[in-house]
Structure 1
């Protein structure tokens, strides 16, 4: 800055020349006229003088005070109609560290001075008291008579009696007054310091490089206080500042997460104690777009948890609860032989129930409408050869329904055939059901007491259906019986028990009961009634039973005669009261520990039922029979065929069997003449078969089964059309043929090193097209030295998907760093070619 005259400086400052000259004279500056110049140093000297004269000791401020005021509105009352204005004022003062240090030093010096003055006063007062005349001391009897202990408790500065003694000389008198004055001044200074607030030590311990330190505190919101400075809700009570304060973790918190097979984004975030938005961000980084209610599979959820720094401790299966309940049932000891469970099957009015009636020696048939069994009957009979449990079925629908649900309740099938009637349509169905279930058959040729009985005819007709008698070289025993006279009943039971011995049927007789539901119904007076067949353990009265999607406590157990029993062991059928619903025939039942577990498993099964129905609808589709077969396995195409006449049926079945190959074959589960019935449709569901109708149609009951279970049913009027569809389906079961096609060849001209991809082969495409996403082989002297895939494919600096013949390119071979000039890179593709029969 250039020098200015006194007059120019006065104009800039805004004062008169005479006042400015007088101030400069007081500051000791030499200027006396308006035309004299003033240098920069002289200006600084004048400025410092003026600041000192106005009470400012330094050029820079010693403290700074910051004030802030924030006004907000709080809505109160019903519906937020009333608004209250809240004003928050904050005030903070920052003081220089040097000033705090200076104040602390001054305080120490004053304390030291006061202590020295007090010691001097004690030293002066003591000899003065000793040299005082006795007469003077006598004038103060109160002081003289004061106890020594009371005098000792008083401070030295308050020693009034000794101080009041007259000094011997004038000098001593002056010294005593001086000491009293210094002592009084020291007491006043000490009291003043105690009454004033001390400097907060926390604010002194700031960073060394900090220029200002906090010397004040915030003004609290006046609206939060009650009257007379007390906090609302407490009579003068104050809480410490950090009593409810949140402490920030010093290290990342790692949560241990248990993951089910499916979990939503919100639930996953809750398990990791993070916001759902953080989980969504992590999924977006992984290339997955999800919402807060999106369901994640177990693998994706595991990746998210590990990506966010947490740990997966356990993977929980969806059926973990059901598995836990099932595994909780255990048995001790060795298995013991049990009685066989026999199902009686056959055509209508061939004597099934009459045969059982004779065996049980009761008139069960008399209670049936028209002498025909209308529901499943379960009975156990004590015979001379041992106990046998019988299941009497109305036709075969229930038998097939049980097998469709995976229940294997029958050990032996008694096929009842009337000797005077021969093999009938339901007889053929019974044979097909028994073979499909893999259950041994015992044929009972009934009504041998009639004159028209012809057992040889029955043997001949069943032999044509692959049921060969033992006396004809087969494995099926044929027993002539009569339900009226009892002929051959003992031989029939002996044959059944012989089959049971061959099967070596065993079970545990102690432990919780397990088995299968035979039937269930809703009784108006007693509620749900279920017939259970115990297969393991013992079912007792009062047990908590879980049967399919139903559960409940067994309030009563009834045998086949309606009598109450306390328990039922293996192979014993029993009726149970107390379930909350009617379970399906074929559902497994078991005894569980608590009703809570039974209810949870029942609810889980009910939720899974819808998914199971959808799966069954896709199980029997002709276009979806590409079953996952392993090496050496033969794929089977199960079919059910119904035709209008016997000739067409035999021709179709023979043609289907000729289509069989070493890899796939046709399995005719059931065939017959007539319309498609409900039994045919149920059998197709149980076997996962396709239904073919040649010049016949399905009835309403069969259509309902087909629609509910999604069975693939097709109608034909030309045999060749049926055979062509079967050929296509069988061709779909054949493993496809794999064929390689070379798409391009590139010749390596030179090799370069890349810091990112390693070796890069500079190539010229000499044939076809080189694709980036296809497999490659590296050839050296027409010999394959490596097979893998490309790491990169570039044209100049650009990544490309393909390079055609005659163009140069750079190729990076993945996981191979020994490419040499002269090598050839062969790009090939593997195609699947469908095979035909």
Structure 2
């Protein structure tokens, strides 16, 4: 008997040579190549190792073995011929059949070990192939049974058979386990409405009643695997989709019922909507909307935005009901939900004091309020609107009621603030100095009062001064449509003195008389509403807004919507700095609790729902950003077209911080008005509150100067400003700020060069020198002639040459200057065509600094 090698042993047991060598190495054998000899002892040692590693080492260990199989295959993905390698691992345990007798000798079993291993391996492969074929046939039979049951059920429903209770229930087909062989059952004739048993169905599907041979089973197995590989994934996806959508109900009926009538939806359409969003609201594909609009003569794309009217026509065309919705529908809903109905009572009048700078507005109000306010203002000038409420005992002749005064600045930069003051007031007191007469801000105050349709009361102030002339004031105001009652007009003129108190009582009586004629009414029980007078950012309290309640009552804890901001009122403070729980009509108070600083002049109102207030505020902020962005884009385009072909203008960048919103807006507007075609002022950032490190970094990035109006920089900002050498300016009076900015802009202007004629020399004779050329003998007739300045040669008062002097001599000496009335010799550089009678003009260019 020839000796067995590793290669022969691998072929005998059906294993790969590398794998067998690896197992032999693990078993402790010294075999390294396929030509090494394998003895019976080596086989027994390998068998013992495999038995211990797979089947255990106890009793009956050699009757059980565990094998791990690996199969590799490649699947094409369909993308440019790419393929993926798939590895499948199977671990199975096989048990030896108990066919041998128990009294067999152990030695004989040990001798048959390797032979039994080979047989077990072959049997296991055949058993696995049989099970896979059996599973495939079982699945085919199950599908056939389901189709038969569905067909029977359909025929029954069409023939109106008796109810399903009389039919025998469907017998479910159990799933076959891969380790459990199918039971051998005798074929039974199928009953009506009952599927065949699994074994009969399998036999019927296969076309044979008996068992197949091994080769036939292998062929079927390969065909089933091929079929599963082709259609298995598609079937599984369809089955999963069917399960998600409700699946198939009993009797083969689908769970989805097609609607018998078209669904008509109410489609909400905003002022503008895209085609995709419109299709989504109608629950249809965007292509359908595009087709419909194309048939209507409008070619659109899926992302194109259409207007509200067009969208409504499309919705009606497609059988739905359009519902037109405005963008500010939520805001309108919130405002309309507030009710201001109730018992009306007479409210206190709101009086605004207007006039020119230093005409005594604040001093007059100070006398009425019995307080010292003017002494606390920077430079004696009111920098922002002040609101004060004077009770009845402080107003002589007021009989117990009160008056609210609004003191507006008189400087020209606060035009917008004065305009807001006129809109928020009932009566305007126009203060005019008797010794100064009507001034520009006085005329502006008259125009604001007329635009707001507010009655005027003229207070002719400073009557205690020697140069007071009240008739002059009446005369000048009459030219602007303000006629005194003494002259047949409807405006009351009261002569007062804020210093002595003269005429103050008469002024208050005139105010009350006008307010009685106006019949001012309010509903105290209604929710509070009014106007924002001023706002600022307090370091300790956060955003603080001064508001004037015009109707209703504002209470602590109310939810307030003010312009772009909202919040719950945490505290109410009156003009004396005292905490109050509520403020009625005509009362000015400071409120805390807003999420930001609203603009001066914004309306405020009390709303019931905080969530809706937040939504309205967010909507307003979005609109504000859109409008601001549109303005910026428009300004950029306009500047681009206007500056085409021109040199780029110089730009002065400013980071501006102020104490209150009204002052900030007024300063910002005044600075932007200073811009010219050559130098532009750009406020890159502005805000209310102190100067922070963020402001300093922004100024550093934009090369801007930092300006603080009644505010100061914190430690972080000061550190950055000092380290980077930024320019920081503090101001408390607005016109000083504007003057300094003007000076800075003047320094950025390109200087002008002005030409000055310093002397004229007349040519009396011409000499020819061999080395120099033509030398003109001249007489200085005007000014002085200088050697180092530019000259022009004039002939019949026409410039024929412009250049420089090459020589200037007096007799034989070179000189730098020849005075008027003296003779000299002049050599013109690079010019020899000087003639008698020509004039040599000496001029100089002088640099002239420009100012705004």
TM range (shorter): 0.3 to 0.5
TM-score normalized with structure 1 length: 0.48
TM-score normalized with structure 2 length: 0.47
